[in-house]
Amino acid sequence: MDILSNVALGFATALTATNLFYCFIGVSLGMVVGVIPGIGTLATMSMLFPLTFILDPTTALIMLAGIWYGTGYGGRTASILLNIPGTVANAVTCLDGYPMTKQGRGGVALFMTTVASFVGGSIGIVLLMLFAPVIASYALNFSSAEYFSLMALGLVAASTISEGSAVKGLAMVVLGIMFGMVGTDVYTGTTRFSFGRLELYDSISLVALAMGIFGVSEVIASVRKVDVGDIRATSVKLSAMKPTRDDVRRSWMPMLRGSSIGAFFGTLPGTGPSVASFLSYAMEKRVAREPQRFGKGAIEGIMAPESADNSAEMTSFIPTLSLGIPGSATMALMLGVLMIHGVAPGPSLMTDQPELFWGLIMSFWIGNVILVILNVPLIGVWIRLLTIPYHLLYPAVLMFICIGTYSISSSPFDIWIVVFFGFLGYLMRIFDWPAAPVLLGFVLGPMMEEHFRRAMLLSRGDFATFVNRPISATVIAITVAVLAWGIYSSMKERRTAGLDATDGE
């Protein structure tokens, strides 16, 4: 009953002309960006970030979220047709998707994964609708000690699980929190680390930081590295998209299993779509009767990861929207949009701003439908997009980065910040330091300090407050376990494999 009126409210919000329009813009852009290697989701989202200042927060979130799940649809197009993963989460789709293309079944693969994405996305949305309000109402009783513990868990998990070295990930989180310290201290009004620059009294601009560390450094890394894909458009015949009855029969269970794995890992901080899609592929291979078919164009091998990917993309909104604690850098950007618009993220979001919350969730349905409609007929266009040479593309990307940053406060200083973080981002690539934890730490850092200091104030300087409260103690215990496991496994990995090669996103 209650949920029905919320759904109605959500659709009423999501279906206004403005919101529909920006939802469309978001998902189409996401799809385009997903197809083209060398432009990441985070870079695009940060490029469009300034545009969100002129929109109201609901519309802004609808658009940015559209980019986020739109890349999931676009990313596997490149994986299936060209054996190039458009995004990290789609890398595993190459394993069976590309062989299918070589067998002339690329059309079937694209069509079936569209279905998988839609089913995975839908399951994710349903879970989001059911669980986010429950968690939020529970979280209303949380105090600063719980919040601090939860944020610590989020940061530790995000930095140790998904990337290669746990120590490097943690170091980058700390570095990010340090950048978050720049500006005016909330309790005393002291300006910290501003080095006398008036522009830094407020804080480092989130957009400038994200643009530098993801946008500019990605351009630097891709120039002279990304080549035009070698594509024969004839390899995909649109007429050959109809799956056989055997394909459909084989796809049901992998799709459902993939969706559940995705839904679970999406909610956990640090894991998200990439981990979910890899794990679901591994699981399909394990449960399959003939595992030797995998890697040679088994349809199960594309259905499971794609549904897991999309389902995780949806459920990763659960902690972000219900607790105000983002589990990934992308979600941190979403939270940044909210905060810039003066909307306080946290459990009261759902009661204070029901039209924002439900409007956003309902826009996911609409966005997913738009993606299904757009994706299939436009395959030819996506393929042609891949033929734009990168040397024409990257100056355009840089231009959008510069104008976007400048437009926020008409300050050339912010562009110098982009240069600084672009350089830092390049250094980080040389040292193989992951970039996503920096952004996560930057967004969460100030909140974490605030809650830490408040918790310590309330407990009169006693650290035991974090372990005396049952919820906080549980979360701290999980954090310690994750930390120990992360360090242990990264040491083991080093001993066996010698080296790890991962790239951040």
Partner 1 sequence: MYSRDYRDIVGGALLTLSGLAFAFYAIARYDLGALRRMGPGMFPVGLGFVLALLGALLLIGALRRRGPRSEIRIWTPFFVLAGVAGFALMIRPFGLIPAIVVLTIVSSLAELKFRPASTLILTVALCLVAWLTFKVGLGLPMQMFRWPF
Residues that bind partner 1 (CB under 8 A): 51, 54, 165, 167-168, 170-171, 174-175, 177-178, 181, 185, 187-188, 190, 192-193, 216, 219-220, 223-224, 391-392, 394-396, 398-399, 401-403, 406-407, 410, 412, 415-416, 418-419, 422-423, 426, 430-433, 449, 452-453, 456-457, 460-461, 463, 491, 494, 498-499
Length in residues, the chain:
505
Q: Under DSSP, is residue 483 helix (H, G, I), strand (E, B) or coil?
A: helix
Write out 180-239 in H/E/C secondary structure.
HHCEECCCCCCEECCCCCHHHCCCCCHHHHHHHHHHHHHHHHHCCCCCCCCCCHHHCCHH
**DSSP character for 346?**
S
| 128 vs 175 by CB, closer to partner 1 | 175
Residue 383 and residue 117: Cα distance in Å, rounded?
A: 19
Q: How far is the CB of 440 from partner 1 (least distance, A)?
A: 15
Q: How far is the CB of 164 from partner 1 (least distance, A)?
A: 11
| 5 vs 489 by CB, closer to partner 1 | 489
| 185 vs 355 by CB, closer to partner 1 | 185
Which tokens hold the place of 69?
């799940």
Q: How far is the CB of 278 from partner 1 (least distance, A)?
A: 23
Q: How far is the CB of 37 from partner 1 (least distance, A)?
A: 17
| 470 vs 498 by CB, closer to partner 1 | 498
Q: How far is the CB of 420 from partner 1 (least distance, A)?
A: 9
Which tokens hold the place of 208?
């400038």
| 245 vs 460 by CB, closer to partner 1 | 460
Q: 343: buried, middle or exposed (CB in 10 Å: 19+, 13-18, 0-12)? A: middle
Of 304, 339, 313, 362, the C-alpha closest to 444 is: 339
Q: How far is the CB of 191 from partner 1 (least distance, A)?
A: 9
Q: How far is the CB of 133 from partner 1 (least distance, A)?
A: 33
The Cα-based distances of 329 to 165, 248, 269, 270, 332 in angstroms read 17, 36, 10, 9, 5
Q: What is the CA radius of gyration of the chain?
A: 22
DSSP string, 365-389: HHHHHHHHHHHTTTHHHHHHHTTS-
| Residue for token pair 């394990």 | 286
100 within 8 A of 108, measured Cβ to Cβ: yes
| 224 vs 289 by CB, closer to partner 1 | 224
**DSSP character for 431?**
T
| 174 vs 288 by CB, closer to partner 1 | 174
Q: How far is the CB of 472 from partner 1 (least distance, A)?
A: 17
| 116 vs 397 by CB, closer to partner 1 | 397
Q: How far is the CB of 392 from partner 1 (least distance, A)?
A: 6
| 79 vs 162 by CB, closer to partner 1 | 162
Residue 70 and residue 25: Cα distance in Å, rounded?
A: 10
Residue 48 and residue 394: Cα distance in Å, rounded?
A: 16
